[in-house]
Amino acid sequence: MMKQMPYRIEEGAIERAKYRAKMAVREAANPTPAPTHRHYALRWVFSTLTIAATLALALFFYIDSQKMDFEAFVAEMHQAPLDVVNDMTADVIYYAEEENQL
Amino acid sequence: MQREQSANVATDLREGGVGCFDLLIEQYGDRLYWHLRRIVVQHEEAEDLLQDTFVRAYLLREQFRGDTESSLKAWLYKIATSLALKALQRRKRNIFASIDSVRGDLIATYEHESDPSADETLVRLQRAILALPTKQRLVFNMRYYDELPFEQISEITGDSVSTLKTNYHYATKRIKEQITTIEL
């Protein structure tokens, strides 16, 4: 017969503690295998390759979008009305023909 | 029959079956929980130490040399006590302080951990026990609450039976004095 203990304790707390102890023993009996050096090396290689591939894709899309913008501008210019073209070239300084002679 | 069954448990223990540890936890879990709780006072810490005790026992099962229930019990108590004392060592404020320096902390913790509906005499007894030096407290708890014979306590603590009897004698004397002082 166990003597009465004047400690605060929730109902079922000892049963829970015993259950956790059982689980802890099971974990100790079947430990998760620790990662080997090969595991770490593979993880590093995989991470590096993923980062490189992501950067390459980003660069490709960036260059492609720049090219598309320029092509669209040229196409727009071909179809633009004359006054728009004149406006855009208004700042161009024209020199007399003879001034262009050496 | 009980003795035979325990001897089988001891053999199974050495052979390392997890199922045998379930049995062991069922058989000794309550006792060891209270043993640990009386040393460290806090429930969470006692719960963690109970887990550590059985995990340690599992990992060291090859080293168990006994074949009776009492030797198995003493072995488990020894592991639990050693882990609990290490936990108390960690609570010390500095490395030079004695383990007895945590008594104040333990009594303060007990104020939060005591059962408000418990009998006042039992609470007073517990406070008096917590005020004892660690060695006397251990011996008193194992003798009074766990009702272990001095020979078994000797196996657990590594002290001689006569030293343990002296410790127990001083512990009871101090507890009586403490309780009488509080009553006055």
Give the model confidence (pLDDT) of A22-61 as tens digits.
999 999 988 777 778 888 899 999 999 999 999 999 999 9
Of the candidates B91, B114, B133, which is a domain's last residue?
A: B91
List of chain A residues whose C-beta atoms are within 8 Å of the C-beta of residue B29: 14, 17-18, 21
Q: Does B15 touch chain A (CB under 8 A)?
A: no
Q: Are residues B63 and B133 in the same domain?
A: no
* CATH for B27: 1.10.1740.10
Percentage of residues in chain B having pLDDT higher than 70:
91
In the block, residue with structure tokens 């001689």: B160
Same domain flag for B100 and B140: yes
| Separation CA A7–CA B123 (nearest Å) | 8
Does A21 contact B37 at a Cβ distance shorter than 8 Å? no
| pLDDT at B2 (0 to 100) | 47
Structure tokens at B163: 């030293």
Please tell me whether residues B4 and B82 are part of one structural domain.
yes
So what's the pLDDT on residue B10? 63
Q: Is B60 in CB contact (< 8 Å) with chain A?
A: no
Give the amino acid at B90. R
Domain boundary among B34, B68, B91: B91
Are A24 and B34 inside 8 Å of each other by CB?
A: no
Smallest CA–CA distance, residue B133 to chain A, in Å, is: 20
The average pLDDT across A75-96 equals 75
Per-residue pLDDT, A45 = 94
What pLDDT score does B3 carry?
Answer: 47
Count of domains observed in chain B: 2
Q: Beta partners for A7?
A: B114
Separation between Cα atoms, residue A9 and residue B115, nearest integer Å: 8
Please state the rounded mean pLDDT for residues B143-148.
94
Residue of B nearest to A8 (CA): B115
Examine the domain organization and report whether B101 and B159 are in the same domain: yes
Q: How far is it, in rounded angstroms, from Cα B63 to Cα B30?
A: 24
Last residue of a domain, one of B91, B114, B147: B91
Query: What are the C-alpha distances in Å from B40 to residues B130, B165, B168, B171, B174?
Result: 10, 23, 20, 18, 20
Do B86 and B102 have their domain in common? no
Q: Which residues of A touch B37 (CB under 8 A)?
A: 5, 7
pLDDT of residue B98: 77
- B87 and B1 both lie in a single domain: yes
Domain boundaries defined on chain A: 13-100
Query: In this structure, which amino acid lies at residue B104?
Result: G
User: Distance (Å, rounded) from C-alpha B118 to C-alpha A4?
Assistant: 9
pLDDT band at B1 (very low <50, low <70, confident <90, very high): very low
**B73 and B108 both lie in a single domain:** no
Provide the pLDDT confidence category of residue B184 given band limits of 50, 70 and 90. low
- Whether residues B51 and B15 fall in one domain: yes
Cβ neighbours for B165, distance < 8 A, ≥ 6 positions apart: B150
Same domain for B155 and B99: yes
**Which position has the higher pLDDT, A76 or B126?**
B126
When the pLDDT of each residue in chain B is averaged and rounded to a whole number, the result is: 87
Q: Cβ of B9 under 8 Å from any chain A Cβ?
A: no
Range of the domain at B125: 95-184
- Answer whether B145 sits within 8 Å of A3, measured CB to CB: yes
Q: Indicate whether B71 and B107 sit together in one domain.
A: no
Tokens 């303060």 found at: B108
Closest-CA residue of chain A to B117 = A6
Model confidence band, residue B5 (pLDDT cutoffs 50, 70, 90): low
B68-82, B101-115, B136-150, B157-171: the lowest-pLDDT one = B101-115
DSSP A13-71: HHHHHHHHHHHHHHHHHSPPPPP-HHHHHHHHHHHHHHHHHHHHHHHHHHHHHHHHHHH
pLDDT at B150 over 90: yes
pLDDT of A86 = 76
Identify all chain B residues contacting A26, using CB atoms and an 8 Å cutoff.
18
**B63 and B118 assigned to the same domain:** no
Across the interface, of A6, A14, A17, the residue whose CB is closest to B123 is A6
* Tens-digit pLDDT profile for residues B43-67: 999 999 999 999 999 999 888 877 7
Domain with B171 in it: what CATH number?
1.10.10.10
Q: Is A2 on the interface with B (CB under 8 A)?
A: yes
Same domain, B83 and B101: no
Q: Is the pLDDT of residue B181 over 80?
A: no
Strands (E) located in chain B: none
CB neighbours of A7 closer than 8 A, spacing ≥ 6? Answer: B37, B41, B43, B113, B114, B115, B118, B126
Pairwise CB contact (< 8 Å): B115 & A24: no
Q: What is the pLDDT of residues B66-123, one digit of tens each?
A: 777 778 899 999 999 999 999 998 887 777 777 777 888 888 889 888 888 888 889 9
Residue B4 confidence (pLDDT) above 60: no
Q: Per this entry, what is the length of chain A?
A: 102
Question: Average pLDDT in the B3-26 region?
Answer: 72
